[in-house]
Structure 1
Amino acid sequence: MIRVEDRGGCCTITLARPEKANALTEPMLHDIAAAVTQSTARVLILTGEGKVFSAGADLDGMKAGLGLSPAWEAASGAIAAFPGLSIAALNGTLAGGAMGAALACDIRIAVPAATFFYPVMRLGYRPQPSDPARLAALIGPSRAKMILLAGQRINAETALAWGLIDRICDAHALIDTAMSLAEHALSADPGHVAALKRMTNGDTP
């Protein structure tokens, strides 16, 4: 399940399945896509409950074909298309298919204990179609292959050095840090925020 809080120009989506390490189910992915698409906020913050951001796909769901569901691309695509500033506030480890939602955000911050891995090679699955390109755009093709093909699990310091995340902050300050990064976007005209984002993405303003 997810929790959505939409107020003051900021939409916060929290993965709220801590007893399953916030493993993503198909309904959760649909709910994320719907929440992002329907929001009129200027800032989107994506975070998790507990000590893990997300362990990736729900294992029972994978047995039922979740890995091939278009819901993955619907969720990450909605986040990527969000016209305001999107921030992944990673409260813990980011793994597997959950990588897509974080990669689609504009900024990623994480706690010191976070680790990052995408075990598609070992498990025999393919990543979601847009994930490898977004990963390579952030950290370069060789490092993307280190994660996807060589199955490397990296810590927060390495993720910061590679450019996978943009800041490391204490767990108790995670959301406050996200809000501080959102301050200028929250006080700006939504059209101005959207135009600057398009320009930064290389699109026509």
Structure 2
Amino acid sequence: MIEADRAGDVLTLTLARPEKANALTEDMLATLADAVEAARERVLILTGAGKVFSAGADLDEVAAGSLALSPDWDRLSGAVAGFRGLSVAALNGTVAGGAMGMVLACDLRLCVPGAKFFYPVMKLGHLPQPGDPARLSALVGPARAKLILMGGQKITADEARAFGLTDRICDAPVDAARDIAADVLAAGVDHVTAIKGMI
């Protein structure tokens, strides 16, 4: 349910469970975290199959076990944040719940015009992943972070772009991610890492 495509120095990980809105199971979450931790490419692209990037945690598994509290959520976000090259969330649709963690940890976020952003931790009675509030606040500011996390608001693509939550709205985010990554792929690995570290 996670498809990995390696093309040169680009690793594309696709959430491939469109019939369930790419809701993340424990196995999917662990597979993603393992793949990002092991990645040695210069560019990482995260995307989804179908019309939704991810609905977050699989609610059946949440009800049946400990998925909501799994340490793999934070392990995945930490791995994305620590990725040595350029990481891009190429959002083919809406992002909800725990799936926001890996998106917030990416260097860049590109989305289709119809995407929405929703993190209903207040309504569901869960705390967000440990690193998410600070990453969200760094992108959109404290008040807008509270609007999303405490007010439970669904943010449209246009609002997300205006807030600074996304960097570009485009019809083909994976293609746009590859275009943006061209200079990274033409540079040396140490140069890429050095500039990312300086930023």
What TM-score, normalized to structure 1? 0.95
Look up the equivalent residue of 2:173 and give its one-letter code.
L
Look up the equivalent residue of 2:140 and give its one-letter code.
I
Describe the superposition over 1:142-168 as per-residue Cα deviations: whole angstroms up to 9, x where unpaired.
000000001111100000000000000
Rounded to whole Å, the distance in 2 between the matches of 1:93 and 1:74 is 22
Matches for 1:40-119 after TM superposition, within 5 Å: 40-63=40-63, 64-119=65-120
Rounded to whole Å, the distance in 2 between the matches of 1:66 and 1:38 is 22
Rounded to whole Å, the distance in 1 between the matches of 2:152 and 2:38 is 36
Rounded to whole Å, the distance in 2 between the matches of 1:134 and 1:62 is 24
Describe the superposition over 1:107-144 as per-residue Cα deviations: whole angstroms up to 9, x where unpaired.
00000000001011111111111111110011001000
Counterpart of 2:190 in structure 1 is 191
Rounded to whole Å, the distance in 2 between the matches of 1:108 and 1:41 is 19
1:7 CA displacement: 2.2
Counterpart of 1:159 in structure 2 is 160
Rounded to whole Å, the distance in 2 between the matches of 1:113 and 1:125 is 27
Runs of 4 or more above 2 Å deviation: none
1:182 CA displacement: 0.6
Matches for 1:109-188 after TM superposition, within 5 Å: 109-170=110-171, 173-188=172-187
Q: Secondary structure at the match of 2:181?
A: helix
State how many pairs are aligned: 198
Rounded to whole Å, the distance in 1 between the matches of 2:197 and 2:25 is 31
Rounded to whole Å, the distance in 1 between the matches of 2:193 and 2:119 is 31
Rounded to whole Å, the distance in 2 between the matches of 1:127 and 1:72 is 10
Residue pair 1:6, 1:39 contacting (<8 A) in 2 also: no
Structure 1 alignment gaps of length 5 or more: 201-205
Describe the superposition over 1:17-64 as per-residue Cα deviations: whole angstroms up to 9, x where unpaired.
101100011111111111112121000000000000000011012111
Rounded to whole Å, the distance in 2 between the matches of 1:178 and 1:62 is 32
Matches for 1:25-36 after TM superposition, within 5 Å: 25-36=25-36
What TM-score, normalized to structure 2? 0.98
Percent identity of the aligned residues?
A: 62
Rounded to whole Å, the distance in 2 between the matches of 1:126 and 1:56 is 14
Rounded to whole Å, the distance in 1 between the matches of 2:167 and 2:72 is 27
Counterpart of 1:5 in structure 2 is 5
